[in-house]
Amino acid sequence: MNRYVIDSYAMMAYFENEPGADKVAGILNDLVRMKSKGYMSIINWGEIYYNTFRIQGEAEAEAVLAQIGRYPIELVEADRPLTFEAARLKGRFKIAYADCFAAALARHLKAKVLTGNREFKKLEKEIGIEWVI
C-alpha cells in the first residue's frame, strides 16, 4: 500500500485547480478507496490555513480545512522527535521550515511526500517524493 505525506503545495494545487490538481485528485480518491494511506503534518495543515486566510479570507480558510477533513488524511502532531528531525533537515538544507516537517514525517513513516514544490529536489536522496507536476 502506498503511503503519502501530503504537502501543502499539493493540497493548494488541488483546491486552486492548478497544474497537478488531477494527480492529487487521483491520490485523494485512492485514500478514500483505502488503496493508499495519507498523512499530513499539523504544521503543513496550518500552512494551508494561513496561506488561504491571507489570500482569500478567514471564511475560505475555514472551508478549506473542512474539505481536508472529509478525506482520510491522518493529521500528525509535531512532537519532540519529529520537530528535532525537521530542525536537523532545516540545518542541513536550505528549504522552508514547514517543508522540513513534511520531509521528517515522510522519513519517519517511510512514505513519499506528495508535492510539486521544487525545494524538495534538494531532499531527493533523503526521502521519497511523488511529484504532482
C-alpha cell at 72: 482520510
* Confidence (pLDDT) at 61: 98
* Confidence (pLDDT) at 131: 98
**Tens of each residue's pLDDT in the chain, 133 residues:** 999 999 999 999 999 999 999 999 999 999 999 999 999 999 999 999 999 999 999 999 999 999 999 999 999 999 999 999 999 999 999 999 999 999 999 999 999 999 999 999 999 999 999 999 9
Annotate 85-120 with DSSP letters as a single string: HHHHHHHHS-S-HHHHHHHHHHHHHT-EEEE--GGG
Domains and CATH numbers, the chain: 2-131 (3.40.50.1010)
Q: Is 29 helix (H, G, I), strand (E, B) or coil?
A: helix
Q: Widest CA span of the chain, in angstroms?
A: 39
